[in-house]
Structure 1
Amino acid sequence: MGTAEIVDIARSVWKAIIIIVLAFAALNFLIQALLRWEKRFMNRILNRIEYENEFAVSYAHVNDLIYIRERVTNRNAIPLPKIRVDFSTPSSLEFPEIKTALVNTSRVVTSLYSLGSDQRVLRNRSVKCTTRGFYDIKGASVTVRGFISGALFSRAVEINAKLWVYPEFIDMRTLYQFSSSPMGDVIVRRWIMEDPFLYSGVRVYRPGDAFKKIHWGLTAKNREIMVRQNDYTSEMKLCVALNIQPSPVLYGNIVDKTIAETGIKVAATLVDQATEVNAPVSFICNSIRRGSRNAIEVIDYGKGKKHFAYIMENMAQLMINNSRTLEELVDYLYENISDSAIVIVTHYVNYNVLHSAGRLSGKGNKVQFIVLDDEYKYNDIRMNTDIVFLSMKNAV
C-alpha cells in the first residue's frame, strides 16, 4: 500500500470522525433543546395544578378522630396519569388508614392522583389526635413526571392548615376513690352554689339537705320527705389551679409526664363544666405555655365560648416543666384570689401546703383539693380539709 493510499484512508477516517462528532453535537443540542422545552412545559403543567389542604375542624380534643381535606384540580387541557403530593405533619397526628413515613419528629404523608383535563378530586383523610398542642401545615410538594425524559418535576405549594388539639375531658366519677368531707363525693358541679331565688321543682330528701328546704305539703301528700330543688347560680366564680410539680423534691423538667397530663385533663374538665353553666372561671398553673416568659400561667376570670377556647389553647401549649413550687402557687392564690371557689388539682399535699391554703378561706374563698394519687398517705390530715382523691389507674 502506497503513501497516497494511506493518506486517503486517513482523510476518510477523519471525515467520518468529524461527521460523527457533528452528528452527536447536533443530537445533543436537539436533546438539550427538548429538555429545556420539557422543563418549561412541565412548569406550565405544574402551575395549572391546584392543591388545597385543610383540617375539617379548627379544634379537636386528644384521641378525637377528625378529617383532613385534600383537594387537587387539574386545570390543564391534557390528562395527567400520575400526580404525587407530599406534605409533612408532626408525628403526633396519626393517619390510621394509610402508610406514612416518620422522619425525626415529622410524619411525611404521600398521596397519588390520576386526573383528566379540568378534573377535580376531593379526599378526606382520617387523622387521630394523640397529643395536645397546636399544629399547622405550611406547605406541600406537587410532583409530576416529564413526558420526554421521565424526570420528576416539583413545585412547592403554600398551605395554611391549622389545628388546635385541646386536652381530653375526663369523667372524674370513674376515678373517684374517697373524699375527706361528707359532700366531697359530689365532684361534678361541686363548687357551684344553689341560688335560693331560682326554684326549679321538688325532689326526694337526701342526707345533708337543709331543714328549711322541706316542702311540707308534698311531704304529707307523698308520705315521704320532699325538698325544694333550687337551680344553680352562675355568680359563683371558679378558680382552677393546676400544680405540675409531682413532689416537693422535684423541680424543673419532669420525666414522667403521665400524672401531669391527667392533671391537665381534670383541670380542662372543670373549666368545661363551669362554661356549661356560664360561670366565671379562671386558670392558674405553675407551668407555662410555649413561648411565654411568665413565671406562672394566669388567665383571668371570664365566661363564654371565646374565653373557654382561650383557656383550652393555653392548656394545649402547656409544657410539663414546673416553673414554681406548689407552695409558691398557693401563695400566689392568697395574694390575688378572693371570694371564689378554688379547686387545686395536684399530685400531692402536705402540712405546709394545707397551712398556706387555710389562709385562703379568710378571704372569702372555698377551697378544695383534687389529689391524683392511688396511695392513701393523708389519713391524719384529710379529716379537716376538703380533699377529693382520684385514682390514676383508670386515668391512662
Structure 2
Amino acid sequence: MVLVWFFLTALIIVGAQYLWYRRFVLRHLDYSRDFNKIVCFEGEEIEMIEQISNNKRLLVPWLYIESQLEASLKFGKSDNFAVSSGSLYQNHHSFFTLRGFTKVTRKHKIIPMMRGKYKLNTVSVTSGDLMSLAKVNRTIQLNGKLTVYPKPIAIPLDKIPYHSWQGDVSVKRYILPDPFVVAGTRQYEAGDTFKQINWKATARAGSLQVHQYDFTANRKLMVVLNIDDREGMWRVVSNPSMIEDGIRYVAGITEEVIKQGMQAGFATNMRTAQQTHSLYIEPNSGENHWLSILDAMATLELERTESFSELLDAIIASKVSYTDFLFLSSYWNEELEAQLNQLRSHNNAALRLQLTDFQNVDGRETVLQEVTAG
C-alpha cells in the first residue's frame, strides 16, 4: 500500500510540475540579440550580444534557442553556442539554465566575410519542465541590423599611366597625390580637409586659412566599374570574385581621391537591392559622401542591368564635361574605345584599366593593367 501511495504521489508531483511549467515557463522571459555596431568593413571583428532575463521566481531548468543567419558571418568558438553552417545559411543553437530573477549576457565574436546588409529576423525559443515532458515553443522577433562595407583596397595612384588620360598625348590633368598648383590662400570653409590648412597664413590672418588651388573647383573623378566579364555576357557573372575585387578597388580609389580634397563618384551596370536600374552616384566631396558610396556598394547585386556599352551611351547622352573618368573592366573592345573617345571630345579625361587575376603573397596583391583595344 505504501508503494502505491508513493507512485501516486510521484505521479501527482510530476503531473503538477508538468502543467505548471507548461503554463508559466516562458512567461516574463525576455530575450534580445543585437550587434555591437551597425556598420563595419569586411574582415572586421565585431560582437553579437544576446541577453536573456528570467523575470520571475520560477526556475527555468533548460532553454533552447535556435536561429538562422547568413553563412558569410563567421562565428568564433563558444562553449554554449553551436553553429552548423551550409553554403548560404548557418543554424545557431544556444542553451541556457536560468534561476529566478536572473539575467544572462553572452557575447559572440563575428567576422563578416562579405559586404552586404544583414538583419536578425527571428529566434525560436523552446523550454519545458524538469523532466523534459512538456515542451513550449515561442518565436521572438528581432530588430538587429548590420551593414558591411566592402574593404577598400588601396591602389598606388602614382603608378597609373598618365598618358592614357588622352590616348597617347600627355596632358596636365592628374588624379594623383599632389595634382594641384597652389595659387594662394583663402578663408576656411566647411568641407575643407585638415591637410589643406595653411598654418603660416593662419597665424598671420588670425583665422583659419587654407591653400587655394587653381583647379580645385573642377576636380571630379567618376569611377565606372564594368560587370561584363566577356563578350555577349548575359545576367550571370562567371567570375564573382573578380567583380567583388573591383568593388573593393572602387572603394579604395574613391577614399583616396576624397582624402585629397577632390570629388568622387561611382557608376556601374549593376543595381542595388532597392532599385532596378544601373547605379550612378554623382561626384561629390567629403567623408559623408564616401560613406554613401560604401552604403550603396553594400547592397550591389551581382547581376547585369544593361551592357556596359549602353551605360556609356547614357553617360555620353548626359553631356557630362570637365570630369575625369576611370574605367575598371575585365575586357575591352573597339566599340567601347570609340565611346571613350566621345567622352574625351567633351572636355573629359578618361583612363581605362583592366582587372586581372590576383596573387596571394603575404596578403592579397592584385595587379591593374591598362586595357588594350580589342
Report 1:174-189 matches (<5 A).
179=161, 181=163
The residue aligned with 2:295 is 313
CA gap 1:73/1:57 in 2 versus in 1, 3 angstroms: same
Say what the alpha-carbon RMSD is for the aligned residues.
3.7
Greater mean alpha carbon deviation, residues 165-174 or residues 352-361? 165-174
Alignment match of 1:52 (pick from 25, 32, 48): 32
Q: Give, in angstroms, the shift of residue 100 of structure 1.
A: 0.6
Q: Check conservation: 1:234, 1:278, Cα contact below 8 A.
A: no
Give the distance between the partners of 1:198 and 1:124, measured in 2 at CA: 54
Q: Check conservation: 1:167, 1:312, Cα contact below 8 A.
A: yes
Report 1:347-366 matches (<5 A).
347-366=330-349
Give the distance between the partners of 1:353 and 1:276, measured in 2 at CA: 30
The residue aligned with 1:143 is 126
Alignment match of 1:342 (pick from 320, 325, 350): 325
Alignment match of 2:368 (pick from 390, 393, 396): 390
Identity %: 21
Give the distance between the partners of 1:112 and 1:333, measured in 2 at CA: 56
The residue aligned with 2:117 is 134
Deviations 1:237-267 (A, max 9, x none): 2211111111223232112212211111111
Q: Give, in angstroms, the shift of residue 192 of structure 1.
A: 7.4
CA gap 1:179/1:250 in 2 versus in 1, 3 angstroms: same
Q: Give, in angstroms, the shift of residue 160 of structure 1.
A: 0.4
Greater mean alpha carbon deviation, residues 347-356 or residues 30-39? 30-39
The residue aligned with 1:241 is 224
Q: Give, in angstroms, the shift of residue 285 of structure 1.
A: 0.6
Aligned residues: 322
SS in 2 for 1:258: helix
Does residue 260 (structure 1) correspond to residue 243 (structure 2)? The answer is yes
Q: TM-score when scaled to structure 1? A: 0.70
Deviations 1:155-204 (A, max 9, x none): 22211011111112112239x987373999xxx952874152257xxxxx
Alignment match of 1:283 (pick from 263, 266, 269): 266
Q: Check conservation: 1:79, 1:117, Cα contact below 8 A.
A: yes
CA gap 1:182/1:105 in 2 versus in 1, 3 angstroms: closer
Alignment match of 1:38 (pick from 1, 17, 21): 21
Deviations 1:189-231 (A, max 9, x none): 52874152257xxxxxxxxxxxxxxxxxxxxxxxxxxxx9979
Does residue 196 (structure 1) correspond to residue 182 (structure 2)? The answer is yes
Q: Check conservation: 2:62, 2:95, Cα contact below 8 A.
A: yes
SS in 2 for 1:321: coil
SS in 2 for 1:127: strand
CA gap 1:249/1:198 in 2 versus in 1, 3 angstroms: farther
Give the distance between the partners of 1:68 and 1:365, measured in 2 at CA: 47
CA gap 1:234/1:269 in 2 versus in 1, 3 angstroms: farther
Give the distance between the partners of 1:170 and 1:280, measured in 2 at CA: 19
Q: Check conservation: 1:191, 1:238, Cα contact below 8 A.
A: no
CA gap 1:58/1:29 in 2 versus in 1, 3 angstroms: same
Q: Give, in angstroms, the shift of residue 357 of structure 1.
A: 0.5
The residue aligned with 1:304 is 286
The one-letter amino acid paired with 2:89 is S
Give the distance between the partners of 1:191 and 1:356, measured in 2 at CA: 28
CA gap 1:276/1:49 in 2 versus in 1, 3 angstroms: farther
Greater mean alpha carbon deviation, residues 249-258 or residues 76-85? 76-85
Q: Check conservation: 1:192, 1:233, Cα contact below 8 A.
A: no
Q: Give, in angstroms, the shift of residue 290 of structure 1.
A: 2.6
Deviations 1:338-370 (A, max 9, x none): 221211111122332222101212222221222
Larger radius of gyration: 1
Give the distance between the partners of 2:147 and 2:283, measured in 1 at CA: 22
Q: TM-score when scaled to structure 2? A: 0.74
Mind listing any 5+ residue stretches in structure 2 that lack a counterpart? Answer: 1-9, 186-210, 359-366, 370-374
